[in-house]
Amino acid sequence: MLSIEKLNDKLIDLAFSEDIGDGDHTTLCCIPADAVGESKLLIKQEGIFAGVEIAKKVFHRFDPTLKVTTHIEDGACVKPGDIVMSVKGREQSLLQTERLMLNILQRMSGIATMTHKYQQALIDAGTKTRVLDTRKTTPGMRMLEKEAVKIGGGMNHRIGLFDMILLKDNHIDFCGGVHNAISRAKQYCKEKGKELKIECEVRNFKELNEALKEGCDRIMFDNFSPEDTRKAVEIVAGRCETESSGGITFETMIPYAKAGVDFISFGALTHSVKGLDMSFKAAGSDKLLIK
């Protein structure tokens, strides 16, 4: 498996390839190759900023001579008019890296902002429930999107299919029940010498009791009501971690958290997020002024 760094390098290379193709002819036709300038990353919307390190990688992978100065770090609350970073170097390079850098940072910051909103609301409600992401991510951008969730104060559920066993409804049905699914998972880990956490999704109290009997690290309550969630948490009684999932939204999450679950997972953090508005402007541009 490729490292996170190599995966991000492949993503950047692919993104440049699809955007630039055989050349940025707009830039090449009007900007001299030796022209040097400076651009600044301007925030235009309140939120949580995320993506400083990947932005540096985008600039340096395209043109190692670009000089990046950061003024605001990941996780900071930003507002319109804030300057996150300044980049000096060849104007052709500044123009050709602009869109890819913005696409990544806008999405990461949007995810971090939404995650922060969800997690802070759970804290303000007096609960200890943590926000989790899911695998409902943009293909190729998973590592960046999950990093954004952490920057926003949430937690990663699992990176992919390789770092945790999650027995969902289809696995259970194909196996013939919760008992078979969990016992096979444990036997597999033993045979393969793998120390993987095992989570089991349950759809009713019968499956919940089976999962508790077999034993696992976490139980996911799928499409339970808040009332049934409270009852399920009481039945588990701390014997394993608990998670609520299935159509839970920002508007409906508080009763689930107050039911006592350890985690609530939200696909919306990565599949329905709106990017944070920002722009990359030539230094001195009057558009840097926020009125």
**142 and 8 in a common domain:** no
Of the pLDDT bands very low, low, confident and very high (cuts 50, 70, 90), residue 291 is very low
**245 and 163 in a common domain:** yes
pLDDT 10s digits, 103-130: 999 999 999 999 999 999 999 999 999 9
Q: Which residue is catalytic, options 98, 201, 210, 262?
A: 201
* Structural domain range at position 134: 117-272
Task: Output the average pLDDT for the chain.
Answer: 96
CA dist 24 and 42 (Å) reads: 23
| Residue 242's CATH number | 3.20.20.70
Q: Which residue is catalytic, options 9, 63, 222, 277?
A: 222
**64 and 147 in a common domain:** no
| Residue 69's CATH number | 3.90.1170.20
Q: Which residue is catalytic, options 61, 88, 99, 258?
A: 99
CA dist 146 and 133 (Å) reads: 7
**Number of residues that this document lists for the chain:** 291
Residue 68, token pair as written in the block: 């990046």
**229 and 217 in a common domain:** yes
Among 290, 211, 284, 203, residue whose Cα is nearest residue 39 = 284
Global pTM? 0.95
Residue 4 confidence (pLDDT)? 83
Residue 268 confidence (pLDDT)? 96
As for how many domains the chain has, the answer is: 2
**139 and 211 in a common domain:** yes
Q: Which residue is catalytic, options 168, 184, 203, 231?
A: 168
pLDDT 10s digits, 40-90: 999 999 999 999 999 999 999 999 999 999 999 999 999 999 999 999 999
Of the pLDDT bands very low, low, confident and very high (cuts 50, 70, 90), residue 284 is confident
**140 and 110 in a common domain:** no
C-alpha distances out from residue 229 to 77, 105, 109, 179, 225, Å? 34, 37, 32, 21, 6
**208 and 87 in a common domain:** no
Average pLDDT over residues 174-201: 98
- Whether residue 186 lies inside any domain: the answer is yes
Residue 193, token pair as written in the block: 């010498």
**14 and 145 in a common domain:** no
**164 and 108 in a common domain:** no
Three-state secondary-structure class, residue 77: strand
Q: Percentage of the chain with pLDDT > 90?
A: 95
Q: Is 201 a catalytic residue?
A: yes
- Whether residue 32 lies inside any domain: the answer is yes
Q: Is 6 a catalytic residue?
A: no
- Whether residue 221 lies inside any domain: the answer is yes
- Whether residue 287 lies inside any domain: the answer is no
Q: Which residue is catalytic, options 136, 150, 197, 258?
A: 136
- Examine the pLDDT at 288 and tell me if it is beyond 90: no
**267 and 133 in a common domain:** yes
Average pLDDT over residues 160-186: 98
Work out the number of other CB atoms within 10 angstroms of the CB of residue 257.
25
Q: Is 99 a catalytic residue?
A: yes
- Examine the pLDDT at 289 and tell me if it is beyond 70: no
**131 and 90 in a common domain:** no
Average pLDDT over residues 145-154: 98
